[in-house]
Structure 1
């Protein structure tokens, strides 16, 4: 009898395992299909995502104007124009000082190259001009041999720039429409959905919107912290173009990995050609320390508080997103993880059983103390 029961339990366990495995396999297949469709529609999805992120950044200003009685279209137009002016001002703040000191920087680069050649010609390297020229001629020959790949790289780069401009224009238009018609979206969506979806989906969307806003604000806070610390270090060392470099650092904080590397490279290069190799090494050390503090301390703490995620989850999400989709994956990893957490928390709330209220028929607890 015991062996029969054990056999029945084993068959039941196998059937349950097979059913769970089949359901998990179906979930993974649907996930793969969804990711494939997302990749096919990425040219539309990416401007939509950028537009949503920009809208979360500019919505407080539009909401302020709408509460003061401004028409939605006028408020959205003014906020969009101001945003464009601010973006143009940021570009000018970086480009104008650099252009005004371009001659000085060019002379510094030439002088730095000359000093490098003089250093290479002395001990312990003792590399003569003939060897340097031969190395230069070899590099030119290799470049000429690889002209085909260089052309391909240039064409790819131009295509990337064009796609970036198109994405930016579409994102700006979408931001304007989101600012103008955003509050009417959830009521319209509720009217289109049947049954309980008319209540659940708008609630999840509203919570997801608040989560995206927290993400953008946390990124801005991290970028501002980086800009202040690195800018302060550059100012103490007397490196020129401190304000443009600080602004560049703040803007690059919204582009993980590559943004920080680019801003750091520019700062070190300017310190090298203006102050010399010693200050350049000090600037490099400052940037490395600040970036390590940002990646391991400041960003996880700020984002975990703003998004309701543990710091370890933020770190793992950024690592996984970067491995799966590079820069874009690193940029979207944290908000995607936060949105998944929003959906999971809402589903868990709906599946949890509410506490049962006493109906008056329960037996009194005789073990509990009764006040006299």
Structure 2
């Protein structure tokens, strides 16, 4: 009888489903340890992501204000640089600076257009599939568009994480799981990037920069290691400018004429804005405070920034004739 009792107790201990107090405490300790690790890892990832976003935005602001000042003082900078070289090389230097300036103008103008286009398209596409926070993700995608080739990949990562964790209320009604929603998100970003690389970039930036994507990716990696986010941002125009400079140096070393068969669009003539007084008898001045010049033909001109703009002037005799005609209102009999 005792042997049967011992056997029953042993079998009961093997098949029992109620844990002991020590096992419960052990489970709680493991749960607390796992939760602590998850929270610490999530906090570290969040801090790094926020720090990266702040760094990118700060870099964008620096580049924005730098481009404003460079645009404002571009004529003075060009004149100063041209004065550093002998007069025999100044014509070639003007052509070289113009080509490099065309690269940078095309790059910054194109990046602005691409950022707005990609950000808006991403927001609309993610909103259509029910992505939580689609507007913020669209803004994030537009901001990271300034990083060539790698920006869309970095912008896709938080969207995929959100898709895996939260899912979509729109697609869940069709029986699509969170994993399927993540795949759809990857497809959306992939399609947008392909449309950008094959349609937008060649039309907007391709003519000014004209670099192979592999060259751009390698340049972004080297620029990031050398100068951080700013180096990655400016890698493409720097490489294109170095290519133009290298072709010029190569042509001069071999005693060739530089830039043969490489044409640029004609420069647009910049007309100065002239401030005109509307009250009779006031002095006519241009925006650079230059005095008007009156030539023998009776045309008043204001010279500013190397170009002229003229306005017809009336002589005293013409004014008196006009006044006499306006005052002569008596009816004439036939």
Name the structure with the higher strand share.
Answer: 2
Higher relative contact order (CA 8 A, sep 6+): 1
| TM-score normalised by L of structure 2 | 0.49
Name the structure with the higher helix share.
Answer: 1
Q: Name the larger-Rg structure.
A: 2
| TM-score normalised by L of structure 1 | 0.44
